[in-house]
Amino acid sequence: MNKTKVTPESWVVRQPQKLQTEKKKISVEEEDPFFDQIKYFLYVCRLLGRLPFERTKSGGFMFQLCSPVMVFTILMNAVQIYLTYQVYFINLTTLFSKNESYDDGVKLVLMVVILNVHFYAWVFVLIETGNISEYLNHWQQFNKKHKYLLKGLPSMKRQMLWLVLFLFIVIAVLTVTETQYLLKGLPWYCSIPYFTVAYHISVGNLHWYINCIIFARMGTELIEQLVKLGFEMINTLLACKMRHLKKETQQEIEMFLDIIEADPPVISIKGYFILNRQIFTAAVSTAVTYLVVLVQFKISSITT
Domain spans in the chain, listed from the N-terminal domain onward: 22-219, 228-303
Residue 15 CA, chain-centre distance (Å), reads 41
Q: Answer yes or no: is pLDDT of 118 > 70.
A: yes
Is 47 in a helix, a strand, or coil? Answer: helix
Residues 134-140, mean pLDDT to the nearest whole number: 79
Q: Answer yes or no: is pLDDT of 142 > 60.
A: yes
Question: So what's the pLDDT on residue 6?
Answer: 45
Q: Answer yes or no: is pLDDT of 12 > 60.
A: no
Model confidence pLDDT, tens digit, residues 36-95: 666 767 777 777 777 787 777 777 778 877 888 888 888 888 888 887 787 778 777 777
Q: How many residues does the chain have?
A: 304
The rounded distance, in Å, linking the Cα atoms of 36 and 106 is: 44
Phi, psi of 152 (to 5 degrees): 170, 155
Give the bridge partners for 273, in sequence order. 269
Model confidence pLDDT, tens digit, residues 22-36: 444 444 445 555 666
The rounded distance, in Å, linking the Cα atoms of 234 and 291 is: 44
What is the b/e burial string over 50-63, where b = at least 16 CB atoms within 10 angstroms of the residue's CB?
A: bbbbeeeeeebbeb
Q: Quick count: other Cβ atoms within 10 Å of Cβ 109?
A: 13
Strands 273-276 and 53-55: unpaired
Model confidence pLDDT, tens digit, residues 82-102: 877 877 787 777 777 767 677
Model confidence pLDDT, tens digit, residues 205-221: 666 766 676 677 777 77
Judge if pTM exceeds 0.85: no
The rounded distance, in Å, linking the Cα atoms of 264 and 258 is: 11
